Each structure stands twice: as C-alpha cells, then as structure tokens.
C-alpha cells in the first residue's frame, strides 16, 4: 500500500473514484449535484490543498477551513479494497498534513444514513457537534399551519397459506377483526382492515399477537402520517427486527435506539429469504422524509424487497 500526493496526471483517476463514491453514497434527493463543479473542486484540491491517493483504490481530499480547523471533505475506498487499512492510512496522512498547517481540530460531514462510515469515524474519535436537519417545505408548512397529517395505512403479513388459525385468532384476540380482508401473495397471507389503517400501533400489536397465536413469521408494514415507513418482524410472538425510515421522526432518540430502528439485513434474509444487499439498499434511514423516496413509493419498495406483497 502506497499513500502519495495526487498530481494533475491523477485527475482522471480521482474523478473516477469520486463518481464511484457518489454512486455508492448519493447525495440526499434535495441536493443537486453538478459534476462540473465537483471536478473543478477536485482540481483545486490537487493544485492548492491536500489530495492523497492510496494506490489506485482510494482517495482523500482535505483543506484548512480556517486557522486551526482542518476539514476532511472526501474519503473513499473501493469496496473490493476495503479492510486493508487504506482508509485508516489515508486519514492518518491527512491529519499529519493538516497538523503541519496548524490544525488543532479535524472536521468532516457524513450522511445520517451512512451507518457504516459513522461507526468508523466514532471509533477514530470523531463526535457529533452539529446536526443539519431537513424538512420537506410543503409538509412543514402544512404541519405548522395546523393542517392534518398525511394518511396512515398498512397491512399484516403472515408466512403461511392456511387462513383457518388466522380467522380463529381474529375472533378471539384483541383487536377482534373477524371481517378483516385476507389475500395470498407468494406464500404470505395479507391481512387488511380499516382500523389498522387508522392506528399504526394497533397494526404492530395485531402482528405480534398473530405471530404468537400461529407460531408463524409475521410482518407489519405501514406508512405513518403519510411521511415514514415502518415494518416490524415477529417470530413466534417475539419481535426480531424493526425498521423506521426516519428513526427520529417523532422526536430525538438515544443513539442506540436510532440504530435499533435500522433494518437488519441478516435477520430479514433469514425470515423472508430477501437478498441482504437489496434490503440494505432499499431499507435506508434518514434524518428527514425529504432525504428518501416518497412514503408511498418507499412502502412499495420495502414490500417488494421483503417479498411479502404484490406491489
């Protein structure tokens, strides 16, 4: 592994690595990316600031933001070259150069949804100082004006093709919904009812009770307030995974609780047969609904990746 200063001859490689970075970790939907501007910034880093390459597999860009404050603007290593210490070596080299220029602190920015990177940065000693919050302007205006929240809706999915124990449970357990609609999709029975659309908590409670009553794998999946998507997975009545597209939509949470509301691809794959990579790509979390696809669209995407509904 060789860490070296990038030169003008390396611009094509730097631009290639930047595009790979952008494809893997795209900007939030509300942020427009101008590739020409990005290329110009890369050239400026090479000419005036800190631009480092790790072989041909990774790069880092940094500069002195103001006296005493260093800023790591870009860090990327190709997926196939990870776990070889390249990112560690790049950041160490950046910090050495920034300190030589008088930096007392080093800052960086990372998407709230990029849990892998946040975990690495925390291990290196970075801590949160400032949070950037984003809200959809139209939704924010409606909420501040006191208009009603968007619609909630959802369904319960049972990994079985036998309706008999489900009907029996629906007549015996609270909430009693003997008239619930049942339909079968690819080995799952979908259960719908107007009361479940009205109350997301009721949706989760029924999913848990049906899992305990039938011993089946059961999922609840819904849109809440027209803004966020939540699923809960139960196995024999035990909650095994929960996902909320915007973990702090209802208010601040301790870091552990925020992480707990991110999808667990391994568990999802074991219970539903879903592809873990697709679960990771679709079931992303964000700081605000504006950073994700519209809730209705995300609901369909999540249902599709879990394989629990015809969408």
Give DSSP secondary structure letters for the chain. Answer: --EEE--GGGHHHHHHHHHHHHHHSPPPTTS---HHHHHHHHHHHHHHSEEEEETTTEEEEEEEEETTEEEEEEEEE-GGGTTSSHHHHHHHHHHHHHHHTT-SEEEE---TT-HHHHHHHHHHT-----------HHHHHHHHTTPPPPP-EEEEEES-S--HHHHHHHHHSSS--TT-EEEEETTEEEEE-HHHHH-HHHHHHHHHHHHHHH--EEEEEEEETTTEEEEEEEETTEEEEEEESSTTTTS---HHHHHHTS--HHHHHHHH---HHHHHHHS---SSGGGSS-HHHHHHHHHHHHT-S--
Query: What is the average pLDDT score of the chain?
Result: 89
Quote the pLDDT of residue 173: 63
Quote the pLDDT of residue 31: 79
For 202-246, write each residue's pLDDT tens digit.
899 999 989 998 899 999 999 998 999 999 999 999 999 999 999
> Which tops the pLDDT comparison, 3 or 151?
3
CATH 3.40.630.30 residue window(s) in the chain:
3-124
pTM above 0.85, yes or no: no
User: Residue 42: is its pLDDT beyond 90?
Assistant: yes
> Which tops the pLDDT comparison, 28 or 199?
199
User: What fold, for 3-124?
Assistant: Aminopeptidase (3.40.630)
User: Residue 175: is its pLDDT beyond 70?
Assistant: no
pLDDT-derived band at 146 (thresholds 50, 70, 90) equals low
User: Residue 13: is its pLDDT beyond 90?
Assistant: yes
- Tell me the mean pLDDT in the region 24-35: 79
pLDDT-derived band at 149 (thresholds 50, 70, 90) equals low
């Amino acid at each position: 592994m060789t860490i070296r200063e990038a030169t003008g001859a390396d611009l094509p490689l730097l631009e290639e690595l930047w595009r790979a970075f952008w494809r893997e970790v795209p900007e939030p939907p509300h942020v427009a990316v101008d590739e020409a501007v990005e290329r110009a910034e890369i050239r400026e880093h090479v000419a005036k600031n800190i631009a480092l390459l790790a072989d041909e597999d990774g790069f880092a860009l940094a500069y002195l933001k103001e006296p005493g404050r260093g800023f790591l603007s870009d860090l990327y290593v190709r997926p196939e070259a990870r776990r070889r210490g390249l990112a560690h070596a790049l950041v160490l080299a950046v910090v050495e150069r920034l300190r030589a220029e008088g930096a007392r602190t080093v800052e960086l920015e990372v998407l709230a949804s990029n849990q892998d990177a946040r975990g690495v940065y925390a291990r290196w000693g970075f801590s949160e100082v400032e949070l950037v919050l984003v809200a959809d302007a139209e939704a924010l205006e409606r909420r501040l004006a006191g208009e009603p929240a968007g619609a909630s809706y959802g369904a319960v999915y049972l990994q079985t093709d036998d309706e008999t124990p489900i009907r029996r449970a629906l007549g015996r357990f609270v909430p009693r919904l003997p008239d619930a609609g049942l339909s079968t999709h690819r080995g799952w029975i979908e259960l719908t009812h107007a009361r479940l659309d009205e109350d997301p908590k009721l949706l989760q409670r029924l999913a848990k009770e049906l899992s305990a009553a039938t011993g089946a794998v059961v999922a609840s999946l819904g849109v809440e307030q027209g803004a966020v998507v939540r699923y809960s997975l139960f196995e024999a009545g035990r909650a095994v995974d929960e996902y909320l597209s915007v973990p702090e939509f209802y208010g601040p949470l301790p870091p552990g609780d925020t992480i707990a509301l991110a999808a667990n691809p391994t568990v999802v794959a074991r219970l539903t047969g879903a592809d873990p990579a697709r679960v990771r790509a679709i079931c992303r979390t964000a700081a605000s609904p504006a950073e994700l696809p519209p809730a209705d669209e995300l609901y369909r995407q999540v249902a599709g990746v879990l394989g629990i509904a015809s969408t």
